[in-house]
Amino acid sequence: MNARTDFQVILGQDGKPAFVVVPYDQFQRMRGRAMADVVPHEVVNIAFDRGVSPMCAWREHLGLTQAELASRIGISQAAYAQMERARKPRQATLDKVARGLGIEVEQLNW
């Protein structure tokens, strides 16, 4: 797909491109797409070292208890604990938990 972009290139003293200016709303869209694929090494390490789900690893990385995250998404701690242990969580579960964690749902799918 070819999307129109309104970039402005700023040249350095040597005449070569040094900076690019892009409209803020376009930057936000670009940033959101790029960040959706980012998972910090710490999260990956927690998941693999301890054998826990991405949900659990993200929660621990963000310093939240199961009860705190459950409260954020409007369920009981016991219900959240079940979600965290699920081998293949439903899409609706992933959406809800991602919102509660403040991350993109794609960051839970690995």
98-107 pLDDT per residue, tens:
999 999 898 9
Query: At 19, is the secondary structure helix, strand, or coil?
Result: strand
* Domain extents in the chain: 1-35, 41-108
Tell me the CB-side half-sphere exposure of residue 26, using CA atoms within 13 A.
10
16-74 pLDDT per residue, tens:
989 889 888 777 776 656 566 689 999 999 999 999 999 999 999 999 999 999 999 99
This prediction has a pTM of 0.69
CA 73 to chain centre: 16
- What local confidence, expressed as pLDDT, does residue 33 receive? 60
**Which amino acid appears at position 86 of this protein?**
A
- What local confidence, expressed as pLDDT, does residue 74 receive? 97
- What local confidence, expressed as pLDDT, does residue 5 receive? 62
Select the more confidently predicted residue: 6 or 50.
50
Output the CATH code of domain 41-108.
1.10.260.40
